[in-house]
Chains A and B, each alone.
Chain A
Amino acid sequence: MTQAASNAVSETDTTARGPLVLLLASALGWLVVSGLLAIIGTIQLQAPAFLSACSWLTYGHTQALQETVFVYGWAANAAFATAVWLLGKLGGASLRGLGLMKVGIAFWNLGLTIGLVAIILGDASAVPFLQMPAYVHPLLLVAYAAIATPGILAWTGRRQQATFATQWYAVAALFLFPWLYSVAQVMLLATPVRGVAQAAVEAWFAQNILTLWLVPTALAAAYYLVPKLTGRILSNYDFAPHGFWALLFFGAWTGTRHLLGGPLPAWVPTLGIVATLIVLFHYLIIALNLRAGLSLGKGDASLGFVAVGLIAYLLGGVLDAVFSFGTFAEKVQFTYFPVAQLKLALAGSYSFIVFGAIYYFAPRVTGIAWPSPGLIRAHFRLMLLGLVVTVVSLAAAGWSQGQGLLDPKMSFDAIAAATHPWLLAAIVGEGLTLLGTLVVLVHFIRLQVLAGCAGFCCSPVALEASAS
């Protein structure tokens, strides 16, 4: 970040400081917890006896906890902060409803904590991405309404009628999440649909947590940051609306591709596969629009994170399309390979782009630059190395596991033995990621302490130059 950019603290930024800092602090705290759980879970896969005497930390619990903490702790809090900040910034006026937002944040994190305790106590719902029991979700939904209010008010009260791609994606994320979340609660928890129809609803919901909520949030940030940080206009921007609608209209159908070969009618997974191929059009437009942000070379620290996130996003899209075909799906279904793909999407594209946004707007929110460029670089390198090691080793473990599962003579002991070295590498990868998260958490705390001191002393903030 340049000195000039850091100095550009607008009215919108400072008024939103309290709730946005609260959201970021919660997000980073939950990310540390998620990292710890990811390490424990991977160790349990590699050595099943690890913590096996602990009834509340079976692998099933660890996996459910990690998934929940990551999505509803880290990803959700960070998504709220990013979407609201972007809409406020582009709305051109001060954010309203911030008091309500603070209350919402407190209740969201309280609801999540109750949900996690319930999972530990054995009250998980066993629905992917909806593991917390039914009684927790209404609280989260109400809290969400309070958190999203400033974003919606900024959108409806914007000063200019013409809108930018960032706003479309951010508004889509804010509106689509509560619809998706409430429908899933009704169809899966309150009055569950019958039999295998649940599998179709689960697949639809799990995919759309990504496609209709987290991906639009990350792309909103990318569309904002790439032209800002590169100083270049977006190429082929006329195509951006097509990319936006292609994601929403076709991406929302892609989840059922995973159900190939199972008890559902053939049209269900086939629709998913066709939609996955059509969505490649969306990835093409993203690549065209944001290609200036794909450079990993010199530049702003935020841009480095965004570049890795975009590369992971495009790579993930191509992998989804290739491995949706029956020939390849047969080899990797029910293995660690889809876990690697999910990791690439969540820890890769989503987390990197959102970290890019956080590194950009946190100084603007607190009114002070990041204290240490070295810590930003350390975080970037640890997180990138952790991501590459984890994804590659899980993909290799999955491929090896898939080959073993296809051979009916190969025992599960032999399959496990073949995957052990790769799982060991995945543990190292998760460790590096956790280390990176601890670095950014410490750095964020330092930023807040410095900002607090600056505010207390009422002296002009000495903005240091941030990472190159």
Chain B
Amino acid sequence: MKNGPLLFLGLFAAFGLSWAGLALGTSLQLGSLAPYYDQLENRAFPERAPGIASRGKLVYQDLGCAACHTQEVRRAGFGSDTERKWGDRQSYARDYIHQDRLQLGLSRVGPDLTNVGGRLKTAGDVFKLLYHGTATMPAYSFLFDERPLHAEPSPKAVAVVDGHEIVPSARAEVLAAYLLNLKTPADYPVEKAVNTVVAKKEEAHK
């Protein structure tokens, strides 16, 4: 190769094509996805997260929870996501349209959290998990405050130690709100129709 400008042009083309195809292409295809308006329930899905849950998402992001947890249910027949009851259906692009900072995750050291709000019933469940940890998850004790116990322990107390009660900090409260809000809607007619056709075709091929 002797021609410097031609090399430069080639570099630009290689970069530009992959950018246009993958980055811009997906953005153009998925950028116009709108929420599905359910006339029976008179609500649009997916719903926007309440403010407290949005603040909790920042804590989730700050702690780097996505290093161990994913937030995507893969399609039936690919992995065991549906058998593990992480969701009744696979995740669709439409589920994420309100997310300004995606937390899909790359690793499953711990379980998928797409529908963890349906598995953990109360904030108390989340606090216990965060404070005590498990064999595979560390305890996040720094998310809790210790304060003197005067009479009865607070309803939110996760433990009482030497005359002190351990209560969730504001960060733990918003994180719990975020996790409890993680639930996907039942289904969307468009995606359901497409998947039914695909499933029938796959069945016919077998």
| A interface residues with partner B (beta carbon < 8 Å) | 44-45, 48-50, 52-55, 58-61, 63-64, 122-126, 128, 155-156, 161-163, 168, 171-172, 175-176, 179-180, 183, 187, 192-204, 208, 212, 241, 245, 248-249, 252-253, 255-256, 258, 260-265, 268, 271, 326, 330, 333-336, 338-339, 401, 405-408, 412-413, 415-416
Q: Are B26 and A265 in contact (CB under 8 A)?
A: yes
For B103, list chain A residues within 8 Å (CB).
126
A261 B64 Cβ-Cβ under 8 A = no
Binds A, one of B93-101, B117-125, B148-156: B93-101
13 residue pairs bridging A and B, Cβ less than 8 Å apart: A48-B133, A48-B138, A49-B139, A59-B64, A183-B23, A195-B30, A212-B15, A245-B14, A252-B15, A264-B26, A265-B93, A408-B84, A416-B135
Which residue of B4, B15, B30, B61 is within 8 Å of A197 (Cβ)?
A: B30
B53 at the interface (CB under 8 A from A): no
Contact in complex: A248, B11 (CB < 8 Å): yes
User: Judging by beta carbons under 8 Å apart, are B14 and A53 in contact?
Assistant: no
The contact of A261 among B22, B68, B79, B98, by CB within 8 Å, is B79
In the complex where A124-B62, A248-B10, A265-B93 touch, is A271 in contact with B21 (Cβ < 8 A)?
Answer: yes
User: In the complex, are the beta carbons of B31 and A126 less than 8 A apart?
Assistant: no
Q: A194-B31, A271-B22 are in contact. List 9 more A-B contacts (CB 8 A).
A: A49-B138, A197-B29, A201-B22, A245-B14, A248-B15, A252-B18, A264-B26, A407-B80, A408-B84
Q: For residue B33, which residues in chain A have a CB less than 8 angstroms away from its CB?
A: 194-195
How far does the Cβ of A186 sit from chain B's closest Cβ, in whole Å?
Answer: 10
Measured between beta carbons, the chain A residues less than 8 angstroms from B62 are: 122-124
Complex Cα distance A269/B75, Å?
14
Residues of B close to A44: CB separation below 8 A: 138
Pair A253/B68 contact, Cβ less than 8 Å: no
B206 to chain A minimum Cβ distance, whole angstroms, is 16
Is B183 in contact with chain A by the CB < 8 A criterion? no
Closest A residue to B143 using CB positions: A55
Q: Are A64 and B10 in contact (CB under 8 A)?
A: no
Cβ-closest chain A residue relative to B68: A59
Query: What are the residues of chain B within 8 A of A202 when measuring CB–CB?
Result: 102
Q: Nearest CB to that of B71 among chain A residues?
A: A263
Instruction: Write the B133-150 contact mask toward A (1 if CB under 8 angstroms, else 0).
Output: 111111111100000000
Known: A58-B63, A334-B108. Contact between A197 and B18, CB under 8 A? no
Question: Which B residues between 61 and 90 are near A, CB-CB below 8 angstroms?
Answer: 61-68, 70, 72, 74-75, 78-80, 83-84, 90
Decide: B111 and A412 in contact? CB cutoff 8 A: yes
A204 with B23: CB separation less than 8 A:
yes
A55-B142, A59-B68, A265-B93 given as contacts; is B100 within 8 A of A201 (CB)? no
Q: Which residues of A contact B83 (CB under 8 A)?
A: 408
**Are A262 and B18 in contact, CB atoms less than 8 angstroms apart?**
no
Say yes or no: A59 contacts B138, CB within 8 Å.
yes
Q: Give the contact-size bracket for chain B.
A: 35 or more
Q: Is the CB of B139 within 8 A of A168?
A: no
Please tell me if the beta carbons of B102 and A198 are within 8 angstroms of each other in the complex. Answer: yes
B19 at the interface (CB under 8 A from A): yes
Residue of A125, A192, A212, A261 with most partner-chain B CB within 10 A: A261
* Contact of B106 with A by CB under 8 A: yes
B49 close to A (CB within 8 Å):
no
- CA of A52 to CA of B132, assembled, Å: 11
Q: A163-B1, A255-B22 are in contact. Are A263 and B96 (CB under 8 A)?
A: yes
**A126 in contact with B61 (CB, 8 Å):** yes
- List chain A residues, Cβ under 8 A from B64: 58-61, 63-64, 124, 126
Q: A268-B22, A412-B111 are in contact. Are A245 and B15 (CB under 8 A)?
A: no
- The answer, yes or no, to whether B159 is at the interface (CB within 8 Å) is no
Question: Which residues of chain B are within 8 angstroms of A125 by Cβ–Cβ distance?
Answer: 101
Residue of A nearest to B14 (CB): A248
Cα A248 to Cα B8 with chains together (Å): 12
A196 CA / B96 CA spacing, docked (Å): 6
Closest chain B CB from A204 CB (angstroms): 5
Q: Is B2 an interface residue (CB 8 A)?
A: yes
- B54 sits at the interface (CB 8 A): no
Most B CB atoms within 10 A — which of A122, A126, A248, A256? A126
Tell me if B23 and A194 are in contact (CB < 8 A): no
Partner of A168, one of B1, B23, B134: B1
Contact status B141-A413, CB under 8 Å: no
**Cβ-defined partner of B136 (8 Å) among A48, A171, A192:** A48
Bound Cα distance from A252 to B75, whole angstroms = 27
CA distance in complex: A334, B75 (Å): 15
Q: State whether A53 and B141 are in contact (beta carbons under 8 Å apart), knowing that A200-B26, A412-B110, A412-B136 are contacts in the complex.
A: yes
- Cα A13 to Cα B158 with chains together (Å): 65
| Smallest CB-CB A-B distances: 4 pairs | A60-B64, A252-B18, A52-B138, A122-B62
Are A408 and B80 in touch, CB under 8 angstroms? yes
Q: Inside 8 A of B61's CB, which chain A residues have their CB?
A: 124, 126
A196 touches B19 (CB 8 A): no
Q: Tell whether, in the assembled complex, residue B138 and residue A330 are in contact, meaning their CB atoms are under 8 Å apart.
A: no
The residue in chain B whose Cβ has the minimal distance to the Cβ of A55 is B142
Expressed in whole angstroms, the Cα–Cα distance for A49 and B138 within the complex equals: 5
Which residues does chain A contribute within 8 Å of B21, judged by CB atoms?
Answer: 253, 271
Expressed in whole angstroms, the Cα–Cα distance for A270 and B102 within the complex equals: 22
Residues of B within 8 A of A264 (CB): 26, 30, 93
